[in-house]
Amino acid sequence: MEIPNRKGKIIGIKEEKPWVEKYRPNSFEEIVSQSVAINNLREFTLSNDMPHMIFTGPAGTGKTSTALIIAKSAIKKQNYYSNVLELNASDTVRMDFVRSVIKSFVNQSLAIDSDILKFIILDEADNIPSQVQQALRRIIEKSSSNVKFILLCNYINKIIDPIVSRCAVFRFVYLTKIEIEKRLKFILNKEKLQIPKTHENKLFSTLYFISGGDLRKAINALQMAVSLDLIEKLDLSEILKISGFLDDSTLERLIDAINSKDIKEVKKIFDTFENVDSRNFIKQILGHIDDFPIHVNNYNSFMAFVGDIDYRISQGADDKIQLVALISQLIGCIET
């Protein structure tokens, strides 16, 4: 089976173009949610004095799409490649690269067509090393007024202050269930696919749960479910599994085993885990926290422990060891 890559794009299912790309919004009107950011942006793009910009917020909420809409609306198609420079963090790790590529792109604009806007879109700007950000800051300062930087990031606190203070910051937020459902229905409609009315509620609730507010994840999960024929018979367990979550029945068995402190059974269930993403697993356990009779005195320390485990996993610790530690701690916190 095809596995989504880091950005969640599906490769190869029925040779079909990934819906996330096929349905990337092409205008402000098509951007779902983000009304605060979009309303302000609209005003800026109409004005003659567009600032440098930072779009910050969680994955799959429309930052790259919005940056592309701005660039495309300001620049004619035939000039696009000479007037828009798209870089991502891995291109910018080397300072000499930043200097030479951005500088030559910026300077080139001084020589010719000096009133035409140029955009430099820096994706994953929060992964640019801070020394390189310092170099970038000087380049931004010195750039002429027709060159606009758009920095995209998930964590604005990783961007150095001197850059932040030179940019207008737009915050993107997770989409609500209603907004995700609306966009998924729009896509299904375009694809001429119908979801049986009886399945709608459960399907969209599961897709929203999988997405956690990230529309890219929701669209990918829907496309995989359609490609693998999981909608007609509404196989929610399989939909959860292919998205890296535990299916409901395994989760229920695990909760029972934890509550009866049956370590052997817990281990047996753990050994059946396939394709379960550790972060997703933690989210599922937290989603069911009320099903565990945790003693009130243990609640805070357990939650602090969950935070530690999450951090260790983010730093590359062995997932399985961490999840076993989490479950052991949980078992220890349960009232007997």
Ligand X SMILES: Nc1ncnc2c1ncn2[C@@H]1O[C@H](COP(=O)(O)OP(=O)(O)OP(=O)(O)O)[C@@H](O)[C@H]1O
Smallest gap, in angstroms, from Cβ of residue 123 to Mg ion? 6
Residue with token string 């007609």: 232
Smallest gap, in angstroms, from Cβ of residue 218 to ligand X? 8
Smallest gap, in angstroms, from Cβ of residue 189 to ligand X? 15
Residues found near ligand X in the complex (CB under 6 A)? 20-21, 23-25, 31-34, 59-65, 152, 154, 172, 183, 215-216, 219
C-beta closer to Mg ion: residue 121 or 239: 121
Nearest 5 degrees, angle CA 180-CA 3-CA 212?
Answer: 25
Both structure tokens of 156? 């604005």
What residue is closest to ligand X based on CB?
A: 62
* Euclidean distance between CA atoms 207 and 236, whole angstroms: 9
C-beta closer to Mg ion: residue 119 or 204: 119
C-beta closer to ligand X: residue 59 or 106: 59
Smallest gap, in angstroms, from Cβ of residue 242 to ligand X? 18
C-beta closer to Mg ion: residue 63 or 137: 63
C-beta closer to ligand X: residue 65 or 206: 65
**Where does the chain have alpha helices with state H?**
19-22, 35-46, 63-74, 80-83, 89-92, 95-97, 103-111, 130-142, 161-164, 177-190, 197-211, 215-227, 236-242, 248-259, 263-271, 278-287, 296-314, 319-333
Residue 25 interacting partner from ligand X, Mg ion, none (CB closer than 5 to 8 Å by kind): ligand X
CB distance 66 to 55 below 8 Å: yes
* Euclidean distance between CA atoms 96 and 89, whole angstroms: 14
Smallest gap, in angstroms, from Cβ of residue 94 to Mg ion? 21
Residues found near Mg ion in the complex (CB under 5 A)? 63-64
Residue 50 interacting partner from Mg ion, ligand X, none (CB closer than 5 to 8 Å by kind): none
CB distance 87 to 122 below 8 Å: yes
What residue is closest to Mg ion based on CB?
A: 64
* Euclidean distance between CA atoms 101 and 226, whole angstroms: 42
